[in-house]
């Protein structure tokens, strides 16, 4: 039993709903009690979709349990097929139905329909949402393409040359409730098209079962979100020889690497190499003098595997931040995240307990958090600015404007989204220069609404927690007075550092001089 | 009884389960914690229904059942013990811990009553444990509150003191208004159930006169009756009419002269009628379709027809207790079509056929209906907003006039652009 207050991922059948809802001409009959219909609001409220997810719930009740729930399943399947006339039917169960073992998929297959039926077995008590989405997409691909496996020759990435046409690729992995997927697809398609590469199919987002059957018309697959598409890409590689890409085009360097990888795989010469760096404003904005203030800013990163890894690279190499924490809730991607963390001399935090993340965040004392909605909450409580880079989805993460994370425009979005929660360089310089002016007394702060940043709060909050300050250390009048002169946005850090210094040196009382000694020591 | 048409419907539903009521119960009783014993789905549901992460550390959580918990029930009990220990160590301020059953825990027959009993012995004097089921195979949405309150009744001490007990979760400001008005009427001993602190449960007995504030408390009412309480039969205090009848029923039970009631509440009524006018202008003649969710539908239909002059197409309710709703049904217009239960697809077919001006529905259906050009109002807003009482009648009407007003603004071409 695992105690959760908030959870990063839903159950696996919600993952299946993400695939079904992303696609056309598909219907999902879900053996589930009425309460499970809440999942509809993820799509209709959070993603503001104007359509209901294509899901029929069997809505079994306690009184049905004594009777024949299997009959109820069949009745619902029949009604759903008649009403929605899908080209492919998904059949599965939620956690409660799994316990009563009606095997709805097998029942559906015995009903004599002439459409492909995908029987989804998603173990609700051991797996989670992203796994469920991945498995559903994989089972669907497999079901719709398995008859073509034996008849088909292995697909060469160079086939486009023989056929005398532009190379074609599939973009796999984008789905509803994925972070900014809708816009990423547009951006990636645009980039590929500029390079003379056509998109054959985008799936699951916007695809129909017919499109899945057409996947093998492309030369290679772009595995855009490995959480969802890797299993399918691997199956397509094994059975049709289709190569797939590994680089996720988030950030300038990754985007360039991605373009190179695609070209290499297709044996397509890169014609406009030198232009690439100028496609996005990020490199110049990052180099511009105002961005000096970004240097060494301490940043804590937590999210899904794909976005967390990309964020670490961008933070360090493209914005000049120092990454002081990196983690993910995607256990499936733990290995890659650990490797990235190791490169940064960090130990990756792999957990789905948001309280552990909050603790790690507190310990790392970052100046910026890049996380999920939960880290946004924790950061708010700790008075640290935060930008959201990953699911789980919040209605705020589905903006009206075009705001991809991937490609050139994605890099622009990332620069703005990550940097704006911080005080801008000019602003920070001015505050530093004019910090003794009356306008910068406590209470006059930036628009960010920092909490617990004035001296009294900082000192008091510790006193409340620990009864006395750290290990009996006392702040004298002069020490406190000097601390108030430190700009509020670094005051917490200065305080911790000074206390650390005092403990190190066995100084029982911190006065103004101790503060400067500590400053010199740590600088 | 008026010539009301009763129908029953079964099929796929689109309704929140009883777990969702935790979202308002935990706000009512800040010293209580609600621990759902369920699946990842349950955790995800509450998180999604609670406005997706609006609280940094909520007073509810889920003990998520894992594969190994399903294998042996004895282990599940031990595991639950461990989780509870952790929780109480982390949150020592908790006074009452509700163990909330879910669909999976009901199906595997996890005996939460026995667990609660054991924990009560262990944490005697520190934390009280109660259990109820909010499972979606047994309860819908607001019925969760019924379960939670019913579970508290055995903890309520007996007293023969004469008192008025308001039953059902109210917004604090509404509760304060009610108490003030009752005091003006001459009823001074008033208590609320649930109370604002879970440990301050009212004492009850044969001189307790129960006035319901919410229509979804069938089981609670039955148990209060068993404890000797007298249930005052009345419509529910939504709108001017319902609230007036409600005050009058209470006054009658306390043998207070009806004239005095009118004397005290008529200024309130005049004021409320005035405030209602602007909303009525928008709502009048508009056609309303209520989909089942909160069990407040019948009272809302009565208010929106009788006081706001809306036309009722269909009044859905997930569950109908004809006895509790008797007074409400009497006030409905002739030929009102009430549908208990749901077949969501067939019901939506009827919505489209009847082309209503406004649909009251759950959150999963709202945007799809809006996309079809049908204005909607979310049911869940009724359980979160202060809508009870005469003073709130205009606010209640406002919840329904706003979507219509909004669509009017957005579809009217007022800007001359040429």
For chain B, say whether A503 makes contact (Cβ under 8 Å). no
Residue A290 falls in the annotated catalytic set: yes
> Which residue is closest to A382 within chain B, CA to CA?
B56
CA distance A484 to B187: 56
Contact B40 A124 (CB under 8 A): yes
Q: What percent of chain B has pLDDT over 90?
A: 87
Interatomic CA distance for residues B51 and A41, integer angstroms: 11
Contact B64 A3 (CB under 8 A): yes
- Tell me the sheet residues that pair with A406: A250
CB A301 within 8 A of CB A287: no
- E strands, A132-191, are 168-172
A433 touches chain B (CB under 8 A): no
Tell whether B40 is within 8 A of chain A (Cβ): yes
d(CA A93, CA A71): 15
Interface membership of A96 toward B (CB under 8 Å): yes
Per residue of chain A (523 residues), give pLDDT as tens.
989 888 999 999 999 999 999 999 999 999 999 999 999 999 999 999 999 999 999 999 998 887 789 999 999 999 999 999 999 999 999 999 999 999 999 999 999 999 999 999 999 999 999 999 999 999 999 999 999 998 778 999 999 999 999 999 999 999 999 999 999 999 999 999 999 999 999 999 999 999 999 999 999 999 999 999 999 999 999 999 999 999 999 999 999 999 999 999 999 998 777 788 889 999 999 999 888 889 999 999 999 999 999 999 999 999 999 999 999 999 999 999 999 999 999 999 999 998 899 999 999 999 999 999 989 989 988 889 999 999 998 888 999 999 999 999 999 999 999 998 887 666 666 666 666 555 555 544 444 444 444 445 555 554 444 444 556 788 999 899 888 877 766 777 788 889 989 988 888 899 988 888 888 888 7
Q: Which residue of A has its CA nearest to B57?
A: A5
**Which tokens in the block code for residue B207?**
């001189």
Q: Give the dihedral sign, CA B110/B116/B118/B122.
A: positive
C-alpha dihedral, B268 to B274 to B278 to B281, nearest 10° = 110
- pLDDT recorded at residue A58: 96
Residue B267: which residues within 8 A CB-CB, separation 6 or more? none
Q: How far is A176 from chain B (nearest CA, A)?
A: 15
Q: A329 — contact with chain B (CB < 8 Å)? A: no
CA distances B165 to B32, B146, B195, B207, Å, are 21, 16, 10, 10
What residues pair up with B190 in beta bridges, in sequence order?
B164
- Distance between CA atoms of A221 and A200, rounded to whole angstroms? 10
Is the Cβ–Cβ distance between B173 and B219 less than 8 Å? no
Which residue in A40, A49, A374 is closest to B14 by CB distance?
Answer: A40
pLDDT score at A449 = 44
Q: What does the alpha-carbon distance between residue B65 and residue A171 come to, in Å, rounded to a whole number?
A: 36
**pLDDT at residue A468, rounded to an integer:** 45
Q: Find the CB nearest A35 among B76, B103, B368.
A: B103
**pLDDT digits over B7-59, tens only?**
999 999 999 999 999 999 998 999 999 999 999 999 999 988 876 555 556 88
Terminal Cα-to-Cα distance of chain A (whole angstroms) = 47
Angle A305-313/A252-266 helices, nearest 10 degrees? 110
What are the beta bridge partners of residue A302? A327
What is the SS3 assignment for B358? strand
pLDDT in tens, B285-299: 999 999 999 999 999
Nearest residue on chain B to A52, alpha-carbon basis: B368
Question: Mutating which of B48, B54, B352 best tests the A interface, going by the most A Cβ atoms within 10 A?
Answer: B48
pLDDT tens per residue, range B317-362: 999 999 999 999 999 999 999 999 999 999 999 999 999 999 999 9
CA distance A98 to chain B (A): 9
Distance separating alpha carbons of residues A221 and A234, to the nearest angstrom:
10
Residues in chain B: 418
Residue A380's closest chain B neighbor by CA? B56
In this predicted model, what pLDDT tens digit does every residue of B207-265 receive, in sequence order?
999 999 999 999 999 999 999 999 999 999 999 999 999 999 999 999 999 999 999 99
Evaluate whether B101 touches B118 at the Cβ level (below 8 Å): no
CB pairs under 8 A between A and B: 193
**And the tokens for A8?**
């990063």
Helix axes B172-185, B239-253, angle to 10 degrees: 50
User: Do A27 and A86 contact (CB within 8 A), yes or no?
Assistant: yes
Closest-CA residue to B208 (of B189, B222, B181): B189
Inter-residue contact A220 to A240 (CB < 8 Å): no
10 Å CB burial of residue A271 (0-12, 13-18, 19+) is: exposed
Q: How far, CA to CA in Å, does B230 sit from each of A455, B152, B236?
A: 58, 18, 17
Q: Which residues of B touch A78 (CB under 8 A)?
A: none
**Residue contact A3–B86, C-beta within 8 A:** yes
Given the residues A25, A290, A462, A517, the one annotated as active site? A290
What is the pTM assigned to this prediction?
A: 0.90
**Main-chain phi, psi angles of B160, to 5 degrees:** -100, 10
CA distance B353 to A160: 52
Q: What is the pLDDT of residues B186-208, one digit of tens each?
A: 999 999 999 999 999 999 999 99
The Cα–Cα gap between B145 and A13 comes to 28
Which ipTM value was assigned to this complex? 0.94
């Amino acid at each position: 039993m695992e105690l959760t207050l908030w959870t990063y991922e839903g159950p696996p059948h919600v993952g299946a709903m993400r695939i079904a809802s992303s696609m056309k001409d598909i219907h999902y009959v879900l053996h589930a009690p009425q309460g499970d219909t809440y999942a509809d609001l993820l799509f209709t409220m959070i993603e503001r979709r104007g359509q209901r997810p294509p899901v029929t719930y069997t809505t079994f009740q306690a009184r049905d349990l004594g009777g024949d729930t299997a009959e109820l399943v069949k009745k619902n399947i029949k009604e759903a097929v008649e009403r929605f006339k899908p080209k492919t039917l998904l059949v599965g169960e939620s956690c409660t139905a799994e316990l009563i073992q009606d095997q709805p998929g097998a029942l559906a297959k015995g009903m004599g329909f002439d459409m492909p039926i995908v029987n989804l077995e998603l173990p609700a008590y051991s797996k989670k949402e992203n796994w469920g989405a991945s498995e559903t997409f994989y089972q669907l691909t497999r079901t719709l393409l398995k008859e073509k496996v034996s008849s088909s020759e292995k697909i060469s990435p160079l086939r486009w040359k023989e056929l005398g046409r532009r190379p074609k690729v599939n973009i796999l992995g984008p789905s509803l409730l994925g972070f900014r997927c809708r816009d990423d697809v547009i951006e990636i398609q645009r980039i590929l098209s500029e390079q003379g590469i056509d998109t054959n199919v985008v799936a699951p987002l916007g695809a129909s079962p017919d499109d899945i059957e057409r996947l093998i018309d492309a030369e290679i697959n772009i595995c855009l979100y490995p959480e969802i598409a890797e299993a399918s890409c691997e199956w397509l590689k094994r059975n049709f020889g289709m190569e797939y890409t590994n680089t996720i085009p988030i950030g300038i360097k990754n985007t360039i690497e991605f373009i190179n990888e695609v070209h290499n795989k297709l044996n397509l010469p890169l014609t406009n190499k030198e232009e690439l760096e100028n496609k996005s404003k990020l490199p110049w904005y990052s180099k511009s003098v105002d961005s000096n203030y970004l240097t060494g800013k301490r940043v804590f990163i937590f999210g899904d595997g794909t976005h967390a890894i990309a964020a670490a690279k961008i933070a360090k190499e493209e914005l000049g931040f120092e990454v002081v924490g990196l983690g993910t809730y995607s256990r499936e991607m733990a290995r890659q995240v650990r490797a990235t963390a190791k490169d940064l001399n960090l130990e990756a935090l792999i957990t789905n307990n948001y309280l552990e993340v909050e603790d790690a965040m507190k310990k790392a004392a970052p100046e910026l958090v890049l996380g999920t909605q939960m880290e946004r909450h924790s950061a708010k409580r700790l008075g640290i600015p935060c930008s959201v880079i990953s699911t789980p989805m919040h209605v705020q993460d589905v903006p009206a404007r075009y705001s991809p994370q991937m490609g050139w425009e994605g890099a622009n979005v990332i620069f703005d989204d990550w940097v704006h929660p911080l005080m801008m360089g000019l602003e920070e310089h001015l505050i530093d220069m004019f910090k003794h002016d009356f306008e910068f007394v406590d209470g006059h702060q930036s628009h960010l609404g920092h909490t617990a940043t004035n001296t009294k709060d900082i000192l008091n909050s510790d006193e409340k927690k620990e009864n006395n300050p750290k290990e009996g250390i006392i702040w004298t009048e002069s020490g406190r007075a000097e601390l108030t002169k430190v700009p509020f946005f670094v005051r917490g850090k200065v305080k911790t550092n000074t206390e650390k210094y005092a403990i190190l040196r066995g100084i029982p009382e911190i006065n103004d001089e101790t503060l400067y000694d500590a400053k010199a020591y740590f600088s | 009884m008026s010539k009301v048409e009763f129908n029953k419907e079964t099929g796929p539903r689109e309704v929140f389960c009883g777990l969702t009521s935790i979202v308002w119960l935990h706000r009512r009783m800040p010293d209580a914690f609600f621990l759902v014993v369920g699946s990842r789905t349950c955790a995800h549901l509450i998180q999604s229904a609670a406005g997706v992460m609006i609280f940094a550390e909520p007073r509810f959580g889920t003990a998520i059942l894992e594969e190994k918990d399903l294998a042996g029930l004895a282990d599940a009990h031990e595991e639950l013990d461990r989780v509870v220990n952790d929780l109480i160590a982390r949150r020592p301020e908790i006074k009452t811990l509700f163990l909330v059953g879910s669909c999976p825990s009901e199906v595997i027959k996890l005996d939460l009553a026995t667990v609660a009993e054991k924990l009560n012995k262990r944490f005697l004097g520190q934390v009280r444990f109660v259990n109820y089921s909010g499972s979606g195979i047994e309860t819908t949405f607001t019925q969760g509150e019924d379960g939670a309150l019913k579970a508290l009744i055995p903890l309520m001490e007996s007293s023969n003191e004469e008192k008025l007990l308001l039953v059902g979760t109210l917004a604090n400001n509404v509760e304060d208004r009610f108490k003030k008005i009752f005091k003006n009427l001459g009823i001074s001993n008033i208590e609320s159930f649930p109370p604002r602190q879970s440990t301050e449960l009212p004492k009850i007995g044969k001189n307790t006169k129960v006035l319901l504030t919410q229509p979804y408390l069938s089981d609670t009412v039955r148990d209060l009756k068993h404890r000797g309480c007298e249930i005052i039969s009345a419509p529910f205090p939504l709108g001017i009419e319902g609230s007036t009848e409600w005050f009058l029923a209470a006054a009658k039970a306390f043998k207070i002269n009806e004239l005095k009631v009118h004397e005290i509440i008529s200024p309130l009524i005049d004021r409320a009628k005035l405030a209602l006018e602007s909303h009525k202008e928008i709502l009048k003649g508009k056609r309303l379709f209520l989909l089942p969710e909160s069990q407040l539908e019948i009272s809302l239909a009565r208010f929106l027809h009788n006081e706001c002059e809306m036309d009722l197409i269909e009044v859905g309710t997930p569950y109908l207790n004809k006895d509790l709703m008797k007074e409400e049904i009497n006030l409905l217009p002739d030929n009102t079509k009430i549908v208990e239960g749901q077949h969501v697809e067939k019901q939506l077919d009827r919505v489209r056929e009847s082309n209503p001006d406004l649909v009251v529905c759950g959150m999963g259906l709202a945007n799809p209906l809006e996309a079809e050009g049908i204005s909607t109002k979310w049911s869940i807003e009724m359980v979160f907003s202060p809508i009870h009482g005469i003073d709130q009648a205009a606010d209640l009407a406002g919840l329904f006039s706003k979507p219509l007003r909004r669509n009017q603004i957005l579809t009217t071409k007022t800007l001359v652009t040429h």
